[in-house]
Amino acid sequence: MTLPAWLRFLELSLLAGWLAWRLYSGGRANHAEAALPFLAAGASIAQLLLEAQAATDPFTPLTQVLPVVLGSVYGGLSLAVAAVALAAAFAGRVRAVPSACVLLVCAAVSSSVAADAASAAASSGELAMSPTLSVPRSALTIQNPYANDPASAERGRAIYQQYCQTCHGLNGDGNGPAAAGLRIRPATFRNPQHFLAPGMDGAHFWVVQYGDGRQGGMPAWQGTLTDAQMWDVVNYVKVLAGGRPTASSGSSPPGGSARPQ
């Protein structure tokens, strides 16, 4: 059970217990009871921040995701629960009973849509890959089907040599023979912090698939290469980024080991 889920359970328990006590006591209030809705408000805000944090990644700050979560049904209800709970904590007497009923309903509804809000936030916005290229953050959810296939990078080496090295260079340094004539300098792959970062395979696959959409920039290889071939190229680029060229690098004819999808 995740920490946000525990906080939702705590929030609902506090509100339910508070409502039951106020109904039992006939609406008579005391100062100690104000702690229950106050704690419920804190739990609501804490879980909201944790859900937003869970929707981020190493390249996206919380400040970019939080507005998306706040703009969702879950975010709106969570803020409403926190605001009304704080108000009810100081309202006193009979007015707290209907407030507790409303809070309990809102908290329950917000809990049921929390996962959808976090998922939407995780797929919103764009991730800057370079000054001229951004990809949708939803691409980060694309899973590499050949991540654990040691032969994938070797297949990708031959495809890379046929389609990529003329711009990106044999060793991925961005100084291929065609690079000088391009308006946008080809990316260098000698950057392990970027190309070997966890969760980035889907973003790099998206770039190979769709390119950057700019004249003289990265072309789209969808339709020329199969999905399997594009994944093999991504895995070979990771080899270049790690400074670990395959043993047979440069020795096979271009395209000789490309595998159809």
Least trusted range by pLDDT, from 53-57, 211-215, 248-252? 248-252
Mean predicted confidence (pLDDT) in 148-168: 94
Based on the domain organization, do 107 and 136 belong to the same domain?
Answer: no
Based on the domain organization, do 53 and 159 belong to the same domain?
Answer: no
Based on the domain organization, do 160 and 79 belong to the same domain?
Answer: no
pLDDT computed for residue 207 by the predictor: 95
Based on the domain organization, do 118 and 147 belong to the same domain?
Answer: no
pLDDT computed for residue 259 by the predictor: 36
Domain boundary among 71, 102, 122: 122
Mean predicted confidence (pLDDT) in 57-86: 85
Domain boundary among 122, 141, 172: 122
pLDDT computed for residue 88 by the predictor: 74
Per-residue DSSP letters for 206-254?
A: HHHHH----TTSPPP-BTTB-HHHHHHHHHHHHHHHTT---TTTT-S-T
Mean predicted confidence (pLDDT) in 38-58: 86
Least trusted range by pLDDT, from 114-118, 126-130, 245-249? 245-249
170: CB partners within 8 A, 6+ apart: 161, 176, 249, 250
Q: Which of 8-17, 53-62, 85-94, 199-208 holds the top average pLDDT?
A: 199-208
* Higher pLDDT among residues 21 and 238, named by residue: 238
Mean predicted confidence (pLDDT) in 57-83: 85
Based on the domain organization, do 225 and 136 belong to the same domain?
Answer: yes
In a domain, 112, yes or no: yes
The answer to whether 45 touches 82, Cβ cutoff 8 Å, is yes
Based on the domain organization, do 100 and 147 belong to the same domain?
Answer: no
* The overall pTM is greater than 0.75: no
Least Cα distance to 1 among 107, 111, 82, 116 occurs for 111
Structural domain harbouring 216: 127-241
Mean confidence (pLDDT) of the chain: 82
CATH code at 229?
1.10.760.10
Number of folded domains that form the chain:
2
pLDDT computed for residue 30 by the predictor: 61
pLDDT computed for residue 151 by the predictor: 95
Domain boundary among 75, 98, 122: 122
In a domain, 246, yes or no: no
Based on the domain organization, do 9 and 113 belong to the same domain?
Answer: yes
pLDDT computed for residue 260 by the predictor: 32
In a domain, 259, yes or no: no
Q: Which of 29-33, 207-211, 244-248 holds the top average pLDDT?
A: 207-211
Based on the domain organization, do 102 and 158 belong to the same domain?
Answer: no
Q: Which of 117-121, 193-197, 216-220 holds the top average pLDDT?
A: 216-220
Mean predicted confidence (pLDDT) in 82-86: 84
Based on the domain organization, do 19 and 73 belong to the same domain?
Answer: yes
CA 169 to chain centre: 31
- For 30, 73, 82, 148, the CA distances from 100, given in Å and listed in that order, are 15, 20, 12, 52
